[in-house]
């Protein structure tokens, strides 16, 4: 919910991203003039047709890429003033296709905590806590990436992000490879985390039924621009579904 009295946790000011093509001063726009504020405890979903710039927006906020123009702030600090590793511990991104880099699930979950030199007992307690929360069976702990299905990998990647307790969690289509029951359970866990720990969630999610049930705010991107920024109560879900379907069909036609 927007509140002028509160300080924004994240702020994007007129952010644009252009492709850099050889022999061109400026390529084509991926994102244009995007400005919005995110407040602690927001649960925001980003929607829009394929190619609208949703993943690019998350990548910018995780500083995997740099904007061509504009600035991004975390709690009033400009991104360039924050060391990248520190930023990514506070603002953590789970991509759609996450890798375990040859580690077992146990190793991958423990690794970010080992880097923080936490005692072995604390590490195992946190691993146990999150696998229980996400209903990850203990027998997965010994498996590597190739021994996991896409949905199982997705769940492990989310557990690995949650284990470091970020302030802002960025998720790119977190439920895309999950069955309906697991997807709904994951959204409930995220909502609980959002409500009890005020963890801010910013996710790309095309599953509108889940968005309608769980998100408190929605950003609608279209053709590299921010079309609307609305709270859940302001959204006409039927209208939104129709306009997304039309935009998706149009985007598909442009590809043919």
Ligand X SMILES: Nc1ncnc2c1ncn2[C@@H]1O[C@H](COP(=O)(O)OP(=O)(O)OP(=O)(O)O)[C@@H](O)[C@H]1O
For ligand X, the binding residues (CB under 6 A) are 19, 30, 48, 50-56
Residue 50 C-beta: closest distance to ligand X, Å: 3
Residue 31 or 168: which CB sits closer to ligand X? 31
Residue 55 C-beta: closest distance to ligand X, Å: 3
Residue 224 C-beta: closest distance to ligand X, Å: 7
Quick one: CA dihedral 130, 136, 138, 142, positive or negative? Answer: negative
Report phi then psi at 34, rounded to 5: -90, 120
Check: CB of residue 67 under 8 Å from CB of residue 15: yes
Residue 28 or 196: which CB sits closer to ligand X? 28
Joined tokens for residue 135: 């209903």
Q: How far apart are CA 35 and CA 113, in angstroms?
A: 34
Report phi then psi at 148, rounded to 5: -120, 145
Residue 176 C-beta: closest distance to ligand X, Å: 10
Residue 168 or 203: which CB sits closer to ligand X? 203
Residue 53 or 67: which CB sits closer to ligand X? 53
Nearest to 72 by CA among 30, 32, 28, 34: 34
- What DSSP line would sit under 99-139, residue for residue? --TT-BHHHHHHHHHHTTT--HHHHHHHHHHHHHHTT--GG
Residue 75 or 97: which CB sits closer to ligand X? 97
Residue 213 C-beta: closest distance to ligand X, Å: 21
Residue 248 C-beta: closest distance to ligand X, Å: 9
Residue 49 or 166: which CB sits closer to ligand X? 49
Which CA distances in Å does 106 have to 109, 122, 125, 224?
5, 14, 12, 39
């Amino acid at each position: 919910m927007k509140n002028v009295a509160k300080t924004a946790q994240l702020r994007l000011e007129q952010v644009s991203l252009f492709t850099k093509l050889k022999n061109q001063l400026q390529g084509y726009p991926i994102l244009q003039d995007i400005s919005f504020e995110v407040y602690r405890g927001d649960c925001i979903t980003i929607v829009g047709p394929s190619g609208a710039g949703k993943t690019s927006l998350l990548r910018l906020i995780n500083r995997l890429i740099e904007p061509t123009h504009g600035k991004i702030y975390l709690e009033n600090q400009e991104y360039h003033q924050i060391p990248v590793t520190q930023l990514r511990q506070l603002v953590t991104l789970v991509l759609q296709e996450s890798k375990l880099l040859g580690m077992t699930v146990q190793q991958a979950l423990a690794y970010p905590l080992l880097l923080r030199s936490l005692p072995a007992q604390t590490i195992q307690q946190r691993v146990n806590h999150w696998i229980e929360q996400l209903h990850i069976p203990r027998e997965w702990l010994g498996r590597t990436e190739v021994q996991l299905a896409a949905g199982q990998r997705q769940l492990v990647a989310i557990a690995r992000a949650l284990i470091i307790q970020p302030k802002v969690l960025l998720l790119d289509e977190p439920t895309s490879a999950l069955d309906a029951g697991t997807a709904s359970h994951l959204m409930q866990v995220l909502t609980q985390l959002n409500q009890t720990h005020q963890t801010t969630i910013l996710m790309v999610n095309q599953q509108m039924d889940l968005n309608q049930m769980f998100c408190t705010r929605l950003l609608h991107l279209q053709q590299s621009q921010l079309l609307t920024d609305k709270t859940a109560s302001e959204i006409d879900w039927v209208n939104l579904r129709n306009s997304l379907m039309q935009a998706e069909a149009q985007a598909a036609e442009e590809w043919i």
